[in-house]
Structures are given as structure tokens and as C-alpha cells.
């Protein structure tokens, strides 16, 4: 039994799209890194041919090489964080929907249990009310008995006999 939220979450997940995204990101990283390395190579050739000043050529070539090397871990980290956040969102939505299902099921079970014991609860309640009524009647009888006994004792003190 799936809820609408679960169906929505699971229907939005497409393994083919996920696989394509996972393949595209490394390709983009390789192309970006390659283009930067081509720029570094061009800068190095220009420096070697003395088109660029030696200092500026070395600096630009070094910067481009390090940038080309650094872009791969950076883009890999971005890809991992994107995938991780997507999975966390999916997981959170599924956990929330399971929680809602759990609460509904627990309420349904509790309602069934209460409906099942309702006749016994009513019986106990009526018996309790009957016993309480009998206890009040006994208390009243005891009160009358005590007051009668007290009256008799009072009459004997005065000297009246029956």
C-alpha cells in the first residue's frame, strides 16, 4: 500500500536519467580540464617562441596547469554533493510518508481495539454505577440504623420504653 507521496517520490526517480547525469558530469570535467590544459600548452608554446614575456608566460602556464588539475576534484565534489542532496531529499520524503502511514495505521488499530472492547467497557461502567448505587443505599441504610439506634439509646436514658 503506497501513499501518493511515495508514488510521487518513486515516480520522479528515473534510473536512466540518473545514469546519464552521472556520465555527463565526468565528461564535462574532462572536457573542461582538457581545454584548460590546451590553454596551458598554448601559453607554454607562446612563451617558448617568445611571443609572451618569460615571467608572464611561466606564471600563466603554471596557473593554467594547476587550474586544469584542480578542476577535476572540484567538479567531482560538486557532483557528489548534488547526488547526495537528491538522495537525502528522496529519503526524507519517503521517511515522512512512512511516518504518516504509520500514524494512520496505529490510529486505525487503536480504533479497532477500542471498538472490540467497547461492550466490556460498557458492562464494567454499568456494573460500576450499579455497585456505587448499592453502596449509597448501604450508606443510607447504615445512617438510618445509626440514627435509630441513637434515638433508642436516647429514649432509654429518658426512661421511655416501647
Extract the C-alpha cell encoding 136: 449509597
Phi-psi region of 13 (alpha: psi -120 to 50; beta: other; left: phi over 0): beta
Separation of alpha carbons 71 and 35, rounded Å: 11
pLDDT at 149 over 60: yes
Q: Assign 81 a pLDDT band (cuts: 50, 70, 90).
A: confident
Nearest to 37 by CA among 16, 13, 78, 67: 67
Burial class (CB in 10 A: 0-12, 13-18, 19+), 128: exposed
pTM for the model stands at: 0.49
pLDDT at 8 over 70: no
Residue 106: per-residue pLDDT: 96
Separation of alpha carbons 14 and 86, rounded Å: 12
Q: What is the mean pLDDT of residues 101-124?
A: 93
Extract the C-alpha cell encoding 14: 528515473
- Mean pLDDT lowest for which of 16-20, 77-81, 146-150? 16-20
Separation of alpha carbons 39 and 57, rounded Å: 11
- Mean pLDDT lowest for which of 2-6, 21-25, 144-148? 2-6
Residue 9: per-residue pLDDT: 62
Separation of alpha carbons 51 and 57, rounded Å: 9
Residue with cell 467497547: 118
- Mean pLDDT lowest for which of 124-128, 145-149, 154-158? 154-158
Q: What is the mean pLDDT of residues 76-104?
A: 86
Residue 159: per-residue pLDDT: 60
Instruction: Give the Å distances, CA to CA, from 127 to 15, 131, 136, 138.
Output: 64, 6, 14, 16
Residue with cell 531529499: 89
> Are the beta carbons of 32 and 75 closer than 8 angstroms?
yes
Average pLDDT value over all residues in the chain: 84
Amino acid at each position: 500500500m503506497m501513499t501518493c507521496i511515495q508514488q510521487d517520490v518513486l515516480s520522479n526517480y528515473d534510473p536512466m536519467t540518473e545514469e546519464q547525469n552521472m556520465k555527463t558530469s565526468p565528461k564535462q570535467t574532462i572536457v573542461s580540464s582538457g581545454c584548460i590544459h590546451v590553454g596551458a600548452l598554448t601559453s607554454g608554446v607562446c612563451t617558448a617562441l617568445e611571443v609572451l614575456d618569460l615571467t608572464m608566460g611561466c606564471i600563466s602556464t603554471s596557473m593554467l596547469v594547476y587550474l586544469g588539475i584542480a578542476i577535476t576534484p572540484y567538479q567531482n565534489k560538486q557532483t557528489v554533493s548534488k547526488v547526495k542532496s537528491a538522495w537525502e531529499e528522496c529519503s526524507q520524503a519517503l521517511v515522512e510518508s512512512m511516518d504518516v502511514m504509520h500514524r494512520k495505521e496505529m490510529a486505525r488499530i487503536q480504533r479497532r481495539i477500542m471498538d472490540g472492547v467497547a461492550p466490556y467497557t460498557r458492562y464494567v461502567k454499568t456494573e460500576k454505577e450499579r455497585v456505587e448505587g448499592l453502596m449509597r443505599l448501604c450508606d443510607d441504610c447504615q445512617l438510618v440504623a445509626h440514627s435509630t439506634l441513637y434515638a433508642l439509646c436516647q429514649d432509654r436514658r429518658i426512661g421511655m420504653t416501647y
